Structures are given as C-alpha cells and as structure tokens.
Amino acid sequence: MTSGGLIERLQHGLWRDNPGLVQLLGLCPLLAVTTTLVNGLGLGVATLMVLTLSNGLVSATRRWIQQEIRIPIYVLIIASLVTCIELIFKAWFPSLDRSLGIFIPLIVTNCAIVARAEVFASRNAIGASLADGISMGSGFALLLMAIGAFRELVGHASILSGLDMITGGEPFNGLALADNGLLLAILPPGAFFSLALAVAAKNVLDRKRLASRKADMPRRMHQSGNAQT
C-alpha cells in the first residue's frame, strides 16, 4: 500500500478498502447501533475521531517503538483515546452517550483501528497517516449512517429521530413517513440483511464499472492505433 495523496486515500477509505464494506471490520458496533441515522452518526464520528488521533499518535511515535512491543503500545494509545472521547461525549452529548451505551467504550475493540495502526500508521509519515485515519474513519462513519438511515426508514418509517441528542432542545421523534414500518429491519437480523444489501450493492456497482471499462478498452486502443493483444 502506498501513502499517496489525500484524494487517493479518500478513494481507499470511502470505497475501495472501506473498513465496513470491503474489509468487514468493526462489525459488532456496525450491526448493534445502526437502528437510527443519528446513532450511526454518533458512533461514526466517535470512531472517526479515535481512528484519526490514533493514526496520528502511532505515526508520530513510530521511530521510538520497538517492533516487539508495538501491539501493547497501540492498545494503550487506542484505549486512552477512547476513554477521552467517552468523557467528551458524556460531557457534551450526554443523551447520545446514553443511547450508544457500551458501544462507545467498545470502540477499543474495533479491529479497524488497530488494523490501520499496524498496516498504515506505523509505516507512514504523520500527514499521510492522518489522511488515512480521516478517510477510513469517514468510510466507516458513512456506512454506519447509511445502514442506520436505511433501517430507520424501513423499520420505523421515520428519519432523523433523536436529532435532539446532537443539537440539544426538545426530544425529537423523527420525521414520520408512515404509521408503521417493517419491524424486522430494527431487530438484530435486520442489521445483517442491511449490511448484506450494502455489500451486494457495492459489488454490483463495481462490476458494472469494470464491465463498462472493459467495453471501452478495445475501442480506445483502436483509436490510439497501438493496440497490443
């Protein structure tokens, strides 16, 4: 894997190597908290912050860390950052913190984070590592939000319920679109179905793109006049 520019990192994080869609990492929080869009956003942002900061710290200290003790040090760094983020959520977004419950402390166990520390941040400069953290974190957060929005729309037939947990003010039950939703979507099996649909949708899109590129290729080669095989 190369360090590359920010654009390339974003392409990796948001699509090609999306931690949730492609690497299938961090599935436990992904499946557990995505009952609403706001919950997905909350955990997504928390994960994004931890991932970016841990990538930055791991990259900054990479020259002083011996190979054999690197994993305990990553765990220390990640656990400390998660504790800080949890305190910040408790102080400024108390109801969001209650809604996400144990899944904020459990960010520690999100293997996407230690994977980025090991695979990327420990081998790249700070700038690239931060960019990687932002890209991978955003990719994970967007997937959480997409699945949260999908399950909320199908299951509750409403959207944006619990927005007050972020903005403050009166409790907000969401914009209702119908009286009743398909209950299955909010129950645990609905999480698996939604993720499967998301992964399938990505594969279909990728395949279509690949097919159209293949269809284009002979024509382009013919036009440029130097086709080889």
Site residues (CB under 8 A) for another protein? 61, 64-66, 68-69, 72-73, 76-77, 79-81, 83-84, 87-88, 90-92, 94, 155, 171, 173, 180, 183, 186-187
Of 85, 91, 1, the residue nearest 48 (C-alpha):
85
Q: Which is nearer to another protein, 10 or 96 (CB)?
A: 96
Residues 6+ apart with CB under 8 A from 217: none
The pair of structure tokens assigned to 100 is: 């996400």
Least CB distance to another protein at residue 198 (A): 21
Q: Which is nearer to another protein, 77 or 145 (CB)?
A: 77
Q: Which is nearer to another protein, 6 or 65 (CB)?
A: 65
Least CB distance to another protein at residue 199 (A): 25
Cα 115 to the center of its chain, rounded Å: 13
SS (H, E, C) 150-193: HHHHHHHCEECCCCHHHHCCCCCCCEECCCCCCHHHCCHHHHHH
Least CB distance to another protein at residue 222 (A): 59
Q: Which is nearer to another protein, 19 or 155 (CB)?
A: 155
Least CB distance to another protein at residue 128 (A): 22
CB 118 within 8 A of CB 51: no
